[in-house]
Each structure stands twice: as structure tokens, then as C-alpha cells.
């Protein structure tokens, strides 16, 4: 079999939300054999690695990110033999497998937590347990230890009568946080990573990994409370713990990426500098908050493209200057679809409409910036938000909590539902659209989550091999990432597109005498560009059928010039 040893700077990663990718047995859930069945499709697309979201045993309180056994396969997704077959079949096609490691917290159904609740002091030391405030004694919970709030709403502490303690959970109450100050916890987590590396896994994505090191003093914050992720992010020992994990598990040199919640640039440089031996690259999310009114995810606003440009410039140039490396993405399983978010609502499935132009513009920007591009399943087809017409059609715990919160704030059901239609994580979790047929070709049964109505227009069967389709556009971008030195390795610098083009983001990539200039318009009206120094350059690609007019970008136009 060919080995999977690729330069991550030239690679493209494809994220598979296992539950929604392909159902091989008609039970309505995607599974591992379903992925194996679609490997030829993925090889034809040209991707290098498949990042699989958790398929471990789980009570599914948070769609698999509540793990009850790190070293097994949940029967709903297949068997360990199915996993081994997938790894081998992917390797035959030159594709590596990346696994999602959820090592910040476990499920309350994990054996470690069960043992803790049964009185085993060894396992009680695996978790962050505290007495309540104002407790009258054993059996009286009192009040939560601090005023911290979890990511999904409500207190970050849960009373557990069997322990006689409160445990910290930065996410759902079913996800108690592990105590990484305990060396035994750190060794156990390294054992998990080593287990999968020895089964042929060639890369890892670490879920909210910058939250593993808690403050040395856990205490109230001023005011009514704060999301504890912002209080815990990039904690005092996080870099030390990461280096130790990488060394103990033997993954130094493999492709790795960390999901960084509420992080900052300086820490992401440290996480990803090669000399620090922590991670290959990091996910940061600041660019996906530019349509949060007042910083509130559940308050809608039009995307602020001026802010978007500044965030991208800061992270692109800042990571470059510090020697770090970015993961490039618009979508994942925790985000609504960017093609809807940034204007692609018109002419869905038709070439030349805003749907087509926005999808190609966004992917052009992502692939031509400096970093490693990630394609979330369905991006290459132009999949959009779900468009559900009732809250009952949503599955996500965060979305249901947010819907109730909005009603409590005074929103009408219709207003709250509109917010879900724009912001819910389920928008990125709808089943993959393979065909125009029932269930979008995802399953022969009843899909676990409703498919988007536009699957009749937007699907793989209608796009693969069709000139000008979204799928073929992505194939071209992936090939360019593989073959162009300036795209994979060149320096990046953002350019001023001029005061008449406030919704245009422009940048250049340079490597020796090679130069690439990219201009992407987020405007639904034509706009005039300042001189970007492209007079002696040729158009490499553009998302309109004809060449761009000199000094003008049309609505949602993306152009790259090369020399």
C-alpha cells in the first residue's frame, strides 16, 4: 500500500460528519461502510485527508462529542473491522484518515465517570469537582461553586448526588470536564491517541483543545456571569500539556489541527510553530463572528465585510510573521452554511446566480490564502442552510436551548425560528445530497435529520463531471493547491482595494518572482477597484464565464491574476 506522507501545506482536508455523509444500511444514520462506499468520489475530488467526526460509543447528547468509550466504534456506525477496512481502502487511494479527539471532556456515561460516581477516589481525581457555596453539609448541594456559564447556556456546574459534589462542564451537563492537572489523565489521553495511531490513523483533530488547562484559581467573575470558555481559553499549562501529549502519543510530524475556542493570535502562533512541537495548524473562529450583532451569536446582523477583511488580514499576516499556520475554512459541523450566510440565496442550483457566484468566490478566497484548506462535506456541491419551517425539525441541543432563550427574551416563535434558520448548527449537519431522489440519496430509510428541499437541484449526481459546476470548480482549486508553489508556500499580504470597494477583499501571494493577486467581492452591486498592480499579469481564474472588466468587479466576483 502507498504510504500517507504528505506536506500539509500542499494538502486539502475533507471533513466528514459521519452521521450525515452516507448511510449504507437504511437506518437513517451515516456510517463507516457508507464512507468506504464513497471513497472513489472523494479520490476523484482530489482531497488528501478525511477528517471523521466522532463515531465512538456515545449517548448522543451532543451528537457524539460526548464520548463514552474512546477506543471503540459505536454499533450505529459500524464495527472496528469496518473502520480498519476504511483505513486500508483510503490508503489504497492515497488518502489519509484524521480522527476527532475529544479529550477536554467525557460523557457522564464513560467508565471513568461511572467509577467516580461509584466512590472510586482514583477516578474522582479525573474530574473537576467542588463543594457548593453555602452548603449546610454532606448531601446539601448549596449553590454552584462559581457564576460561570457553559457554552450551551446555564450554569457550568452540575450537582451529582452520588459524588456529593458539583462537577464542571464547559459544554452540556452530560460532558464533565477532565482534570488535566492529574498526570494519570494526561497519560490516559495519550494512550487513546496512540491506540488510533497504531490502527493506521495518519492525523488528528483535537476538539476545544485549548480549554484543557483551567485557571489555577477557580472563582467568580465580576457581574452576572460569563461563558467559561472565554475564562479558560489558552490556560496556564496548555502548551506544556500539548507538547507532552504529542510526545507521549508519538504523533510529532503527523498532520494535526486544534480547535481553538475564544483564542488569540499569540497563542495560536505558539500552538503551530514547528519548533514548539505542538500542532500543525489551528482553527480560529473570529472571522465567523462578523455577523453577530453586538457579539451575540443569536442576534442577527448583515456581515461586516470591513471587519472580516481586518480579521483575515490580522490572522493571515500575523500567523505568517510568527511562523504559525492557519487552517482555512468557512464551514464545519458547528457552523451554518457560508454560502447562505454571505449572500448566496438566489438561483440555487443554477450557474450564474448568486448561489453559484458566492460559493465559488468563497472557495477561491479560502483556497488561495495561506494555510491548509478544509472542505466540509457538501461545500463542493454548494449545499445551503436547511430552511426548516418548525423548531421540531431541529435536533441540536444548543439550538433548542437558544430557541427557548430567545422566547424568554421576548422574541415571537417566528422571530426565534428565523434566527435558528440562520445560526443553528443543524444547518451544517443536514444529510449529504448525493441525488435528487428521496432522502437525497443519503439513505433508503428515514434520515435522522431532514434533508434540504433544494437537494433536487444541488446534488453530486447533477454536478460531477459537469463543466462549470461547483464540484468541478472545487476540483480545480484542489489541483491548484497541489501544483502551485506560490499558492502552497508563498508569502501573503493584504491589499487595499480602494474606498469605492469596501466589500472587496484583496491580497497577494508571492514566492520569488512569482506573484498571485486575488480580489473577491462580497458586494451584490458592481464596484470599482483601485490599481492592484495586475497590468502585467494574466487572469488565472474567475467565477464568471467571461473575463473581468478592467478596474471593476461584478457582484460576488472572484478573480485571481498570476505572473
Positions annotated as catalytic residues are 207, 259
Secondary structure, 3-state, 37-86: HCHHHHHHHCCCEEEECCCCCCCCCCCCCCCCCCCCCCHHHCCHHHHHHH
Specify whether the CB–CB gap between 288 and 425 falls below 8 A.
no
Rg (CA), the chain: 23
- How is residue 163 annotated by DSSP? T
| Strand 538-542 with 558-562, pairing | antiparallel
Measured distance CA(430)–CA(447) in Å, rounded: 9
Measured distance CA(353)–CA(303) in Å, rounded: 20
The separation between CA 343 and the C-alpha centre of its own chain, rounded to angstroms, equals 20
Specify whether the CB–CB gap between 281 and 371 falls below 8 A.
yes
- How is residue 530 annotated by DSSP? P
Measured distance CA(298)–CA(71) in Å, rounded: 36
Strand residue runs (E) in 414-532: 491-495, 504-511, 514-521, 527-528
- Given strand 538-542, what is the order of strands in its sheet? 491-495, 504-511, 514-521, 558-562, 538-542
Question: Nearest 5 degrees, angle CA 158-CA 160-CA 161?
Answer: 145
Specify whether the CB–CB gap between 419 and 298 falls below 8 A.
yes
Exposure letters 174-202 (e unless 16+ CB within 10 A, then b): bbbbbbbeeeebbeebbebbeebbeebbb
First-to-last CA distance in the chain?
39
Specify whether the CB–CB gap between 354 and 362 falls below 8 A.
no
Measured distance CA(353)–CA(141) in Å, rounded: 58
Specify whether the CB–CB gap between 144 and 166 falls below 8 A.
yes
Secondary structure, 3-state, 202-246: CEEEECCHHHCCCCCCCCCCCCCCCEHHHHHCCCCCHHHHHHHHH
Exposure letters 229-265 (e unless 16+ CB within 10 A, then b): bebbbbbeebbebbebbbeebebeebbbbbbbbbbeb
Question: Nearest 5 degrees, angle CA 406-CA 412-CA 414?
Answer: 100
Amino acid at each position: 500500500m502507498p504510504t500517507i506522507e504528505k506536506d500539509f501545506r500542499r494538502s486539502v482536508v475533507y471533513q466528514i460528519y459521519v452521521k450525515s455523509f452516507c448511510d449504507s444500511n437504511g437506518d437513517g444514520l451515516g456510517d463507516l461502510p457508507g464512507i468506504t462506499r464513497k471513497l472513489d468520489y472523494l479520490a476523484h475530488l482530489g482531497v488528501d485527508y478525511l477528517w471523521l467526526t466522532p463515531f465512538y460509543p456515545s449517548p448522543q447528547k451532543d451528537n457524539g462529542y460526548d464520548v463514552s468509550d474512546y477506543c471503540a466504534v459505536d454499533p450505529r456506525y459500524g464495527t472496528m473491522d469496518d473502520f480498519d477496512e476504511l483505513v486500508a481502502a483510503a490508503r489504497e487511494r492515497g488518502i489519509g484518515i484524521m480522527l476527532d479527539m475529544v479529550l477536554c471532556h467525557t460523557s457522564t456515561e464513560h467508565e471513568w465517570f461511572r467509577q467516580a460516581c461509584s466512590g472510586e477516589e482514583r477516578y474522582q481525581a479525573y474530574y473537576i469537582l467542588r463543594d457548593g457555596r453555602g452548603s449546610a453539609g454532606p448531601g446539601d448541594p448549596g449553590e454552584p461553586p462559581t457564576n460561570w456559564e457553559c457554552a450551551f447556556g446555564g450554569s457550568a456546574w452540575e450537582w451529582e448526588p452520588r459524588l456529593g459534589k458539583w462537577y464542571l462542564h464547559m459544554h452540556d451537563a452530560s460532558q464533565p470536564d477532565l482534570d488535566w492537572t492529574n498526570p494519570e489523565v494526561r497519560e490516559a489521553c495519550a494512550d487513546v491517541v496512540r491506540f488510533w495511531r497504531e490502527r493506521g490513523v495518519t492525523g488528528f483533530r483535537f476538539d476545544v483543545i485549548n480549554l484543557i488547562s483551567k485557571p489555577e484559581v477557580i472563582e467568580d467573575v465580576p457581574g452576572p456571569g460569563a461563558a467559561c470558555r472565554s475564562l479558560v481559553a489558552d490556560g496556564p499549562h496548555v502548551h506544556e500539556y500539548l507538547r507532552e501529549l504529542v510526545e507521549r502519543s508519538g504523533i510529532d510530524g503527523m498532520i494535526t489541527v486544534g480547535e481553538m475556542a475564544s483564542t488569540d493570535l499569540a497563542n495560536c502562533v505558539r500552538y503551530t510553530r514547528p519548533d514548539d512541537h505542538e500542532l500543525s495548524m489551528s482553527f480560529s473562529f473570529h472571522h465567523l463572528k462578523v455577523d453577530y450583532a453586538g457579539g451575540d451569536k443569536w442576534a442577527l446582523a448583515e456581515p461586516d465585510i470591513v471587519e472580516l477583511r481586518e480579521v483575515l488580514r490580522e490572522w493571515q499576516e500575523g500567523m505568517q510573521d510568527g511562523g504559525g499556520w492557519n487552517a482555512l475554512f468557512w464551514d464545519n459541523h458547528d457552523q451554518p452554511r457560508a454560502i447562505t450566510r454571505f449572500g448566496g440565496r438566489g438561483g440555487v442550483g443554477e450557474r450564474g446566480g448568486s448561489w453559484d457566484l458566492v460559493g465559488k468566490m468563497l472557495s477561491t478566497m479560502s483556497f488561495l490564502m495561506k494555510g491548509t484548506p478544509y472542505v466540509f462535506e457538501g461545500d463542493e456541491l454548494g449545499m445551503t442552510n436547511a430552511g426548516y419551517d418548525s423548531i421540531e425539525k431541529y435536533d441540536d441541543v444548543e439550538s433548542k436551548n437558544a430557541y427557548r432563550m430567545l422566547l424568554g427574551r421576548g422574541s415571537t416563535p417566528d422571530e426565534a425560528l428565523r434566527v435558528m434558520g440562520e445560526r443553528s448548527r443543524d444547518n451544517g449537519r443536514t444529510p449529504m445530497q448525493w441525488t435528487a431522489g428521496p432522502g437525497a440519496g443519503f439513505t433508503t430509510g428515514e434520515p435522522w435529520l431532514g434533508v434540504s428541499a433544494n437537494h433536487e437541484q444541488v446534488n453530486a449526481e447533477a454536478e460531477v463531471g459537469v463543466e462549470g459546476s461547483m464540484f468541478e470548480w472545487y476540483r480545480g482549486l484542489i489541483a491548484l493547491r497541489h501544483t502551485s508553489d506560490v499558492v502552497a508556500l508563498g508569502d501573503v499580504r493584504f491589499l487595499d482595494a480602494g474606498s469605492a470597494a469596501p466589500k472587496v477583499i484583496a491580497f497577494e501571494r508571492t514566492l520569488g518572482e512569482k506573484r498571485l493577486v486575488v480580489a473577491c467581492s462580497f458586494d451584490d452591486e458592481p464596484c470599482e477597484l483601485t490599481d492592484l498592480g495586475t497590468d502585467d499579469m494574466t487572469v488565472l481564474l474567475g467565477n464568471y464565464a467571461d473575463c473581468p472588466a478592467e478596474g471593476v468587479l461584478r457582484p460576488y466576483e472572484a478573480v485571481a491574476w498570476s505572473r
